[in-house]
Amino acid sequence: MSHSVHGTFVSEKINKIRWRPDEFNNSHFFLTGSVDNDCNNIKLWDFHENDEEDDVYPFLISTFPYCGDVTEMKFLNADYFVTSSSSGSAHLMKIVPAYTDNIALKSEITWNKIHQFKNGEASPCTALAVYENDIVTVGEDGCINLLNTKVQKVHGKIDDADSCSIQCVIFLKHNEILTSNLRGQLKIWDLRSSSNNPNSTFMISGDQVTPTCLTYHPTQRHLIITGDDLGALTTWDLRHNTYPVNVLNAHEGAISEIQFEPENPDQLYSCSSSGEIWQWATKSDVRQQLADGTETNVWLAPDNVKNKLEVFTLMPTLGKPINSLDLNRRRVLCGCDNEAIYLINGVNF
């Protein structure tokens, strides 16, 4: 696999990194969110490439001071994005072209301390998900908040949704979400229901394992992949969610983030606390079988899924955790605890 890696020291640990979307899916702007600073921040960068130079460096465009660690960032569109904080708050942010040669980051709405423990102390907001203008946040307080970009107040809340910390959340449908908790339970919630109980609950098999990230297949939303704190990838078919379809022992450490390549869903990317970033690619002969209709989605293979995949290391293993990754065409961004960000260019999709 032929690709290049460009690393840049940024003097702070990066917990989240996101490409700014554009209509041509060819953005050179991206966001970073820091962690473990006395005062954290969200930064907008420009990775504009110069074909005449061998190396590529990001330019810092704008900085926004942030209270608490940045625990998640999700774009709604090219101009608006949502963030969550270890201080228990969430923010709707806007990228504003203040004047011709300057772009600024602006806070539009702050949902302040929407996650709190029983004693009144702020609870970290661990994750959020977006669906059009709707936002859902989860936290260590075991609560689920329903927000909307048009409303200043929390317009829905499931108190005591869980008796322990909720680690991850994704939208399955407009009114349906999937959460995972510290004890390894996955729960499906109907947001239209008047009940504070989940529709269904299922669990990663074996000893207590904590899911650290969730994603769904771009074209088959019932297919869910979880990454966990033991470095395994587990596949679920939500049409039959009692037991996982398969479990892949993958990274040496906890899996930080996983993403399917939206336009090439036979590609999955993962990064880990053990400093690895990998591409999982369907083997060429299996892709042909998929095209011929003689093979189904490889992630739904009950036993020999590993034999149908190739795994590529996108850069040498780091000595520190890789906390976040994001994809944009043939480019992968990742943010790390070694106070650097990396652009991996020319990845073979």
Which uninterrupted H or E stretch holds 139? strand 134-139
253 in Cβ contact with 270 (< 8 Å): no
What confidence score (pLDDT) does residue 293 get? 59
Length of the chain, in residues: 349
CA distances from 106 to 41, 65, 93, 257 (A): 12, 10, 6, 27
238-274 residue pLDDT tens: 998 778 998 999 999 999 999 999 888 889 999 999 9
Torsion of CA 264, 265, 269, 270, to 10 degrees: 170
Residue 227 CA to residue 69 CA, distance in Å, equals: 22
**pLDDT at res. 72:** 98
Looking at residue 143, what is its pLDDT? 97
Q: What is the distance between the alpha carbons of residues 146 and 113, in angstroms, rounded to a whole number?
A: 14
How many angstroms separate the CA atoms of 44 and 349, rounded?
26
Q: In Å, what is the CA distance from 326 to each residue of 55, 144, 153?
A: 20, 25, 30
Write out residues in the chain with pLDDT < 50, as ranges.
Answer: none
Q: What is the CATH number of the domain that holds 139?
A: 2.130.10.10
Q: Are 162 and 181 in contact (CB under 8 A)?
A: yes
User: How many Cβ atoms from other residues are within 10 Å of residue 132's Cβ?
Assistant: 11
The domain of 266 spans 4-345
How many separate domains does the chain show?
1
pLDDT of residue 278: 97
Contact residues for 135 (Cβ-Cβ < 8 A; gap 6+): 82, 90, 128, 129, 146, 147, 148, 149
The two three-digit tokens of residue 23, written as one number: 């209509």
Q: Where are the alpha helices (DSSP H) in the chain?
A: 284-292
Distance CA(287)–CA(309), nearest Å, equals 10
- Look at residues 16, 7, 82, 5 and name the one whose alpha carbon lies nearest to residue 322: 16
pLDDT for res 279: 95
CA angle 281, 284, 289 (to 5 degrees): 110
DSSP 318: P
Q: Scanning the structure block, which residue is given the tokens 């899924």?
A: 305
Q: Are strands 102-111 and 90-99 parallel, antiparallel or unpaired?
A: antiparallel
